[in-house]
Each structure stands twice: as C-alpha cells, then as structure tokens.
Amino acid sequence: MHATVRGGHIIVGRADETGADPRFRMTLLKGDTYGLSLYHRKKWDPLPFEGTISELVDVMNTASLTGQPTGHCQIHRAWNFRNWH
C-alpha cells in the first residue's frame, strides 16, 4: 500500500510499475476525525464512515479481506458489522 498527503486528504492505494492506483481517501473533518471515500469510476464516492485513522484503516482492511477487488458491496458489508457514526 502507498499513502500520499494532499491538502486535508490522505490518499491510500497501490503502487506498482504502472504507477499509483488510488483506492481510498481519508478527509480530515475536525480534530482527529476523518471521513472515508472510495475511488470509483474516476471520482471519489463518500462512504458512511467517520473515525480516527486507525478506525478507518480497520474498515479498509475489513473491506479488502474478501480477496476480491474492493468495491461498494464489500464496503457496505463491512459497514453493517461496525458503523462509525
């Protein structure tokens, strides 16, 4: 995984020989609370998660445990187990 900071965002994704492949964006909301978005079809789609960086990393890891490409179905299944709101 690769993380890049741009403005109030932390962008997490894969990096390989073809370049960066963004997956998630954590946006600073207030204090140590961030919102999570998923990169989908060349845009950032907000997800129903807010929490600390550590909590959102847990969400990203849970969503990716299926061994399938990360997408909305896996994210929403993870959200049903633990909602950060």
Domain count of the fold of the chain: 1
Which residue range is the domain that position 73 belongs to? 2-81
pLDDT at 46: 93
**Mean pLDDT rounded to a whole number for the chain:** 77
In which residue ranges of the chain is pLDDT below 50?
65-74, 76-85
CA-nearest of 45, 43, 36, 39 to 69 is 39
pLDDT at 80: 40
pLDDT given for residue 64 in this prediction: 57
The strand pair at 9-16 and 2-6 is best described as: antiparallel
User: Phi then psi for 67, rounded to 5 degrees?
Assistant: 80, 5
pTM: 0.69
Whether the CB-CB separation of 36 and 24 falls below 8 Å is answered with yes
